[in-house]
Structure 1
Amino acid sequence: MKRLWLLLPLLLAACAPKKAEAPAPEAPSPLRVEVRAVAAMRGVLERESKASATLQAERDSLVAAGASGRVVRTLPAGSQVQAGEGVVFLDPAPFQEALEAARLNLKQAEANLERARNQLAGNRKALAAQLQAAETQLQAARRRYEEGKALLEAGALAPLDLKALEANLHQAESAYENAREALARLERAEDIRLLELQVEAARLQVRQAERNLKESVVRAPFAGEVVEVFVKEGEFLGVGSRAFRLATTDRLLARLYLPPEKAQALTPETPFTLRQNGKETPAALLRKTDLPGQTRLVEVVLKPQDPLLPGPAEVRYRERVAEGILLPAGAVRAEGGQGVVYLLEGGRARRQPVRLVAQEGNRAVVEGLPEGAKVIYPVPEGLRDGDTVEVVP
């Protein structure tokens, strides 16, 4: 009986129904990393640069006097003048007197020339008659001399008489040469030419006197503002001395000096901004020197779009850094001593080595990527080559 009680639990366990076996757990699916992607596009990387500039008048001139004289009146500094308007006035009386004297000299020279021309017409006939008479006398003297020699050979004439005939012949030859030279000189009109030169000189003196009278008013060569006057009323102003300074204060140019390598990259399309006393205005490149000066810098001249004040200003412009494939700087990571990006290919992240060319702010230029490639950005922490990724907006 006791043994039966011991076997009863075993019999009950054997008769109890068996429970269904639990299914084996499935293998976990790989995790998908949510990422965003940007397209690798070709472009130019730029940075904003600053430089100091000086605003100066577009035209600034120290106007000198063209004649000497005593100053009788000046315009005050700050006067706005037009081109050709007088600024410094000299006493005109001496210049007017010199002009009148030059005109009188011209009239006298012209009168002398006219008188000489009239005399020339009358003298030509008289000289021609004198030449003809001298020629006739010469022929007669030559004929008597030849006859005298024949008589001397025949013994009908004394040698002393022949000498007298020879002297008369020489005298007639000299008279003929003088008459011919006088007529030739008259025909050459040497005296007339000399008088004509005197008339030309007198005309030149008149023009000089007229110019001096005009220069008695020192005028503005262009429209602008009289910045400074260097003489006062009553003072003597010499020719070539500074009279006043004229500038176009309403049209200013900005001048700055840059190293040659930076100035070389600037083009007329480069946008510039001038900033002065809180005011900003666009500016355009007007010109730049080809070679650096003694300071080894290149002068760059800008033309502001809006008016500013003379003096210092700040220039801002976009400076070209590099050109190539542009990416956000955060898309490039340093792994294993080289730059890498992660491309999006077939739902997976593929590690791609690249060379970082340049970086400015949050932009970078790289080499080693085809244009249009999908680059993961921002790069999730712990992303590895071959990870399964899912692009989210």
Structure 2
Amino acid sequence: MKKRKKLVIIIAVILVLAALLIARSFLSPKNAVKTVDTADAVKTDLIQSISVTGNIKAGESEEIMLPSTQKVTRVLVQEGQEVKKGQLLVKLDTYELETQLKKSRISLDMAKRDLEKLNSEDNTTRKSLENAVTQAEISLKSAASKYEDARIKHEHNTKLYEAGFLSKVEYDNSLSTLNDLQNNLLLAEITLDNAKNSLADFDEKIYQQEKQIEMSNTDLSSLERKISDSNIKANINGKIVKLDAKENQYPAAGSSIIIHDQSKYILELRVSQYDAVNLEMGQKANIRINGLDKVYEGHITKISEAATVEMVNTSKETNVLVEITLDSVDEQIKAGYEADAEIVLIEKENSIAVSFEAVQTDEQGNKYLFVVEDNIAKKRNVETGLETDFEIEIVSGLKEGEKYIISPPAELMDGETVITTGGM
């Protein structure tokens, strides 16, 4: 009897242990039903793009520097006004220039008469030769004084330019003035030397007089050009965005008139080398100007032939200058505005795409995802294509309307039962 009771107890213990093992097996995570998020495969338009920030500039612009040595007599336009190419904008005082022009014309006439006298054998005297030497010495002294003043001033302007306090245009004007005065000095030295030679050899006087006439003609041309330039005109069609001229006042140093052709605007960008290698002329771009709730369309119209290396903080960046022309403009756009451009590199229509997390890669390098059929997860090898910032194209292995797992659990196996959420 005791043996039988003992046997029953042993059998009961064995059954309990077996039940525990079976329960543990069913409750194991390996056999637990997993809940997964799914979505239906649909066709969409894919765009691969890059985003770059730059500044707007006018398609064409002109800056006219105003001379600080001439007073403004009339201002015929105002800031914000539309002007046409060739339209008169500002008139400068030409009294001194016209006075110099009259004197130069008189001097030229006298030089021509002197030449006529020299060509007449009865009207040649040594006195006229001595007077010519005296006049040449005075001219040389004056030219030397003007050149020395200009040289000192240009050295000062050079320091200002190198320090960033003087514009390139003003620096070039200073250098041009110095060169002109240096040429005048050299011409004065030549004139004096020739006049002295004339005293020793009067036959050279005719040659010198001819050169004097040539120089006078040059001075006349220069004065006439300066007088003509005193009527400041627009060289392009556009709107005046800066006007420093004020009537009966001398312009301050650096004063100018700026005209922008607002019929066309360009977004100027500096694109990193890594992105620039993918750019091509004509590629489309969507442009968002900061502060404006509007998207402008444009296309690449310029890619610089050479890259530039720039220091950014403590590192070097290699960038390429790129210009995007806006296809249409409006009055809200202004030169200098900051804008973001989304440049379309590749665009595909009606492509099946999934999230990046849906695509997995096995040890052999094969790409796959999981589709769900009747609550069963099925592993499906796929071929991928275009990648955007958020999606990846499925070229083959997934059909439109099939349900796929958005982000499959790492332990998910082919053929497992799943509970799905999401999808359509």
Q: What TM-score do the two structures reach when normalised by structure 2? A: 0.52
SS class of match (2:307): coil
Alignment correspondent of 1:329: 354
Matches within 5 A, 1:69-218: 69-74=70-75, 75-119=77-121, 189-218=203-232
* Distance apart, 1:259 and its partner CA: 2.0
Tell me which of 272, 275, 289 is aligned to 1:259. Answer: 272
* Distance apart, 1:281 and its partner CA: 3.2
Per-residue deviation, residues 86-144 of structure 1 (Å, max 9, x unmatched): 32211222222221111111111111111111228999xxxxxxxxxxxxxxxxxxxxx
* Distance apart, 1:357 and its partner CA: 8.8
Tell me which of 270, 274, 295 is aligned to 1:280. Answer: 295
- Alignment pair present for 1:291 and 2:307: yes
Alignment correspondent of 2:329: 307
- Say whether the 8 Å CA contact 2:383–2:397 is kept in structure 1: no
- Alignment pair present for 1:250 and 2:276: no
- Alignment pair present for 1:318 and 2:321: no
SS class of match (2:269): strand
Tell me which of 226, 234, 242 is aligned to 1:228. Answer: 242
Per-residue deviation, residues 117-175 of structure 1 (Å, max 9, x unmatched): 1228999xxxxxxxxxxxxxxxxxxxxxxxxxxxxxxxxxxxxxxxxxxxxxxxxxxxx
- Say whether the 8 Å CA contact 2:382–2:397 is kept in structure 1: no
**CA gap 1:241/1:212 in 2 versus in 1, 3 angstroms:** farther
- Deviating more after overlay: 275-284 vs 354-363: 354-363
* Distance apart, 1:264 and its partner CA: 2.3
**CA gap 1:94/1:330 in 2 versus in 1, 3 angstroms:** closer
**CA gap 1:350/1:69 in 2 versus in 1, 3 angstroms:** closer
Q: Which amino acid aligns with 1:65?
A: L
- Say whether the 8 Å CA contact 1:87–1:219 is kept in structure 2: yes
- Say whether the 8 Å CA contact 2:48–2:388 is kept in structure 1: no
User: d(CA) in 1 for partners of 2:89 and 2:208?
Assistant: 43
| Identical pairs, percent | 15
Q: Which amino acid aligns with 2:354?
A: A
* Distance apart, 1:356 and its partner CA: 8.5
**CA gap 1:274/1:333 in 2 versus in 1, 3 angstroms:** closer
User: d(CA) in 2 for partners of 1:340 and 1:294?
Assistant: 41
**CA gap 1:256/1:112 in 2 versus in 1, 3 angstroms:** same
- Say whether the 8 Å CA contact 1:67–1:216 is kept in structure 2: no
User: d(CA) in 2 for partners of 1:64 and 1:115?
Assistant: 46
- Say whether the 8 Å CA contact 1:281–1:306 is kept in structure 2: yes
Q: Which amino acid aligns with 1:291?
A: A
Alignment correspondent of 2:140: none
Structure showing greater Rg: 1
Per-residue deviation, residues 11-41 of structure 1 (Å, max 9, x unmatched): xxxxxxxxxxxxxxxxxxxxxxxxxxx9xxx
**CA gap 1:122/1:191 in 2 versus in 1, 3 angstroms:** closer
SS class of match (2:263): coil
Q: Which amino acid aligns with 2:91?
A: F
Q: Which amino acid aligns with 1:313?
A: A
**CA gap 1:359/1:209 in 2 versus in 1, 3 angstroms:** closer
**CA gap 1:46/1:200 in 2 versus in 1, 3 angstroms:** same
Per-residue deviation, residues 203-258 of structure 1 (Å, max 9, x unmatched): 111112111211222222322222122232222248x8533222223322112333
User: d(CA) in 2 for partners of 1:335 and 1:84?
Assistant: 68
Per-residue deviation, residues 64-104 of structure 1 (Å, max 9, x unmatched): 13683211112321222222333221122222222111111
What stretches of structure 1 of length at least 5 have no aligned partner? Answer: 1-37, 39-43, 124-181, 343-348, 366-370, 385-393
